[in-house]
Amino acid sequence: MHPKELSKKLFTEKYHKAPTLNVYAPGRVNIIGEHTDYNDGFVMPCAINYGTSISGAPRHDHIFNVFAADLNESDEFRLDQPIEPNPNEKWTGYVRGVVKFIQERCPEFHQGADLVISGNVPLSSGLSSSASLEVAVGKFCQELANLSLSHTEIALIGQKAENKFVGANCGNMDQLISALGQEGHLLMIDCRSLDTIPTPVPENIAVMIVNSHVKHDLVTGEYNTRRQQCEAAAKFFGVKALRDVSIAQFHKKEAELTALDVDVAKRARHIVTENQRVLDAVQALNNGDISRLGELMNASHISMRDDFEITTPEIDYLVELAQSVIGTSGGARMTGGGFGGCIVALAPTDKVDAVRQIIADNYEKRTGLKESFYVCTASQGVHKC
């Protein structure tokens, strides 16, 4: 059952009445532009047809009573008292954090509610289950109390919750695409200005996602280390963020930076070249040139593997298998924060079965892990349903 139906059904069963408000926010896959978001750079994700649904109704008090159906766990907190983290359950931080920062922005928000949450974004896969949850909670609060918040503001509140309340130093891409996604389109986002350019997915091109089932948890050190290394590189170049460094400028001072810190130089090279790849990808898509897009995706993967050093042997093997079938008719790369999670591949729909087959025949045999394979469509961002 789709989360939209499931959350409604479970709410009705739990409270013996129909919900009065239903919202849905999608997960996302990033096609190209990895770790560029917190460097004020460019990304190109799309919202996918997996997401988080919330069904609920207002209460006559200030209590937020939340039931997470997929985990079979509940959380309750008051909106007329300071909102603190619940140390026992990590998932509650995404809900509490969003409500806390909505109150910071809209101090009049004290409306209690009963909520049932259901989602089908695979957890710990790098498809942004957390951003999907944050944006859904933000939209629910906005509709519940008729708050004057735009979808962009809801996204940024979600990011703030993840940064300041949960403690994961993510950029703004995941929440922005969950809030602003457009059906049938990838969305190029300028993470500094928040300008977006919808770029159509060409006809008969499939978006495939393969979950390696190598688990990752970004609240732990590696992600924050990469972020610090990028900040150190920006400082070296004397700029606000690596977005401000061109490839030519990077090459001019590359040797000097490498002599100072080889890892920082490698991280910077990935970000500077990746930003350019995103801009080139917009051009390729506008020209309907999937072969060129594929080259850029493949180059992005090599850069993440060798310069940003965030892939794993399992992920590299999945990419290699997919690329061997796709050839020049598309591309494949790791997607998400890294150290596990998923790969994304774009290719003509008539290649899907062959990609699925070669991975099914080989991946488990080599790694002992069984992949999950999804064919996705570019979907609409957060909405009432």
- Residues forming the active site: 174
Kindly tell me the burial class for residue 167, based on how many C-beta atoms sit within 10 Å of its own C-beta (0-12, 13-18, 19 or more).
middle
303 is in an annotated binding site: no
How far separated are the first and last CA of the chain, in Å rounded? Answer: 15
217 is in an annotated binding site: no
Q: Which of 360, 326, 331 is nearest to 345 (CA)?
A: 331
162 is in an annotated binding site: yes
129 is in an annotated binding site: yes
223 is in an annotated binding site: yes
Report whether 175 contacts 230 (CB < 8 A): no
User: Quick count: other Cβ atoms within 10 Å of Cβ 76?
Assistant: 13
50 is in an annotated binding site: no
Structure-block tokens of residue 30? 């990033």
Phi then psi for residue 9, to 5 deg, are -60, -45
35 is in an annotated binding site: yes
Distance CA 361, CA 374 (A): 16
124 is in an annotated binding site: yes
Taking phi over 0 as left and psi of -120 to 50 as alpha, with beta for the rest, 196 belongs to beta
Strands (E), the chain: 21-32, 42-58, 63-68, 73-78, 113-119, 185-190, 196-200, 205-211, 331-335, 342-348, 372-376, 383-384
- The neighbouring-strand residues paired with 29 are 46
125 is in an annotated binding site: yes
Distance CA 131, CA 135 (A): 6
User: Quick count: other Cβ atoms within 10 Å of Cβ 195?
Assistant: 10
36 is in an annotated binding site: yes
Torsion sign across C-alpha atoms 325, 326, 327, 329: positive
196 is in an annotated binding site: no
126 is in an annotated binding site: yes
Kindly tell me the burial class for residue 235, based on how many C-beta atoms sit within 10 Å of its own C-beta (0-12, 13-18, 19 or more).
exposed
Binding-site annotation: residue ranges for Mg(2+): 130, 162
Binding-site annotation: residue ranges: 34-37, 124-130, 162, 223
